[in-house]
Amino acid sequence: MAESELRIASIPEGIETLDDFVVRARTVGGSWQEVGTYAMKVDEVLNTKHNTRMVSVAKFEFEGEVEIEVTSAKEDIQSYCIRPASFGIKAQQTGRTLTFKLTSPHYLSVEINGKRFGNLHIFADKIMTKPKVRKRDLIYFGPGVHRLSGDTLAIPSGKTVFIDQGAVVIGGLSVYKSHDVAILGHGIISTYRRAGINVAYSQNVTIDGPLTTQIPVGGSEHVSISNAKAISYWGWGDGMNIFASSNVKYKNVFCRTSDDCSTIYCTRGIYHGSCRNICIDGAIYWADVAHPIMIGLHSQTPEDEIIENVTYRNIDILDQAEAQIDYQGCLGINNGDNILVRNLTFENIRIESLRRGMILNFRVCFNKKYCTAPGRGIEDVTVRNLSYTGKEPNLSIITGYNEERQIKNLTFENLNINGLRISDDMSSKPKWYKTSDMANFFVGEHVENITFK
């Protein structure tokens, strides 16, 4: 077994911290080292009003095996959970202290006494070293605070940006009409109500590791985003949007956002075109407002655009808290503006208990707030191995628009809601029930060929 290694960077002077938790880490048999906790803002909506809340963020890099100690500094621990639950991480509790081990990188939420705000996020990443590229092609941000002149740094073609652990960049990074760009490292890109990293009209872009606010991708192709984290708190603070782009891949990302975590849209604003070949493989989504996943809606009549060949795989959804029924749905396909959505796969989706929301909302609709026409249809969608665990969610919705704008060929395989497996041949379903009734799904008109296997 390879020797374990742990790298912890100090929080730069002048960056806000929190003292709700004391976090320490060590390698097997090593000495305990303190891990500072950044103060970060998230959003809680109460009575339709946005309220800023603070959460703690601890982050470090490691290889091998590491032991983590989390002490609640301000209250006794009556109960705790470490999420996502699918990781199966159990801690040993001694008074106000929890101790547990990690053997691989994980992004975690440690919550005591049922609190989803004031919690501790832990971002434990694999060690990343400065890339070996020519000095003239490297933009390096070392430990400390870096304030960008003009608030935004444009990244030219062929450049590699490395944001070292312990670095905090105040401002945004813009990849605009560039190609062959890499943005790497586990540092922080901190902005105020704007995209932390914006990719527009670019090709062959790689982003790996940073913690920021938003990472929108528009009018681009061949973009790869992995191990990136997005946390936002303001109204319409989407996490990782895609606009009119193709061949975009995500791997092991995290979003806790004040609007949709992940979106796929066509024409909107300065971006024009369809979306094709999108793959998200490994993600943790926490929507304090709106959808964890949202597809469709925005385009521009009469473009007749297409969203096709999309896969969401290995997704943990930790929450949805949305009061507006139109914008509920952990899996949302709200299709308008003459878009055709087809060939979608949702696979290995784990949804934990929601504060306010529904499992899915699949509609061909005419949302006049954002659209000028209904969508053309939703076709060939497979939802495989979706599980929900928690309190009863709101009624899910599946409905087409008219005979020409339908939902066709929707297949559920191994749908499990609080331990109940939903299928057309399930023994507990009365003959006069629709299978969808057993799942608390409303299936409306203009839905053709829906099956539960």
320-338 as b/e: b if 16+ CB within 10 A: bbbeeeebbbbbbbbbbbb
328 token code pair: 């509920």
Pairing of strands 420-422, 407-417: antiparallel
The residues, ordered by sequence, that sit 6+ positions from 46 with a Cβ below 8 Å of its Cβ are none
Closest CA to 236 of 275, 268, 206, 207: 268
Cβ–Cβ < 8 Å for 73, 34: no
Decide: pTM greater than 0.85. Answer: yes
Query: What is the distance between the alpha carbons of residues 337 and 268, in angstroms, rounded to a whole number?
Result: 11
What pLDDT, on a 0 to 100 scale, did the predictor assign at position 249? 98
- Cα–Cα distance between 321 and 309 in angstroms, integer? 28
Neighbouring C-beta atoms of residue 32, cutoff 10 Å: 10
Distance from C-alpha of 240 to C-alpha of 216, rounded to nearest angstrom: 5
Asked if 213 and 197 touch (Cβ cutoff 8 Å), the reply is: no
Phi, psi of 23, deg, nearest 5: -115, 130
User: According to the 3-state scheme, what is the secondary structure of the chain?
Assistant: CCCCEEECCCCCCCCCECCCEEEEEEECCCCCEEECCEEEEEEEEECCEEEEEEEEEEEEEEECCEEEEEEECCCCCCCEEEECHHHCCCCEEECCEEEEEECCCEEEEEEECCCCCCCEEEEEEECCCCCCCCHHHEEEECCEEEEEEEEEEECCCCCEEEECCCEEEEEEEEEECCEEEEEECCCEEECCCCCCEEEECCEEEEEECCEECCCCEECCEEEEEECCEEECCCCCECCEEEECCEEEEEEEEEEEEECCCEEEECCECCECCCEEEEEEEEEEEEECCCCCEEEECCCCCCCCCEEEEEEEEEEEEEEEECCCHHHCCCEEEEEECCCEEEEEEEEEEEECCCCECECEEEEECCCCCCCCCECCEEEEEEEEEEEECCCCCECEEEECCECCECEEEEEEEEEEECCEEECCCCCCCCCCCCHHHHCCEEECCCEEEEEEC
| The residue type at 85 | A
CA 168, 240, 441, 325 dihedral sign is positive
Nearest alpha-carbon partner for 310 in 356, 345, 281, 337? 345
Alpha carbons 16 and 315: distance in angstroms, whole number? 31
Distance, in Å, from the CA atom of 313 to the CA atom of 200, rounded to the nearest integer, reads: 25
What pLDDT score was predicted for residue 1? 52
Instruction: Pull the structure tokens for residue 162.
Output: 């490395």
Residue with tokens 């799904």: 441
**Separation CA 263–CA 240 (nearest Å):** 7
Q: How far apart are CA 127 and CA 137, in angstroms?
A: 22
Instruction: Tell me the two tokens of residue 7.
Output: 């790298």
Beta bridge partners of 280: 250, 312
Query: Does a cis peptide bond (omega within 30 degrees of 0) precede residue 143?
Result: no
pLDDT of residue 303: 77
Token representation of residue 390? 């928690």
pLDDT digits (tens, 9 = 90+) for 83-93: 999 999 999 99
pLDDT < 70 stretches in the chain: 1-2, 299
Domains in the chain and their CATH numbers? Answer: 5-126 (2.60.350.10), 214-452 (2.160.20)
CB-based contacts of 6, cutoff 8 Å, min separation 6: 25, 26, 27, 30, 33, 60, 61, 62, 66
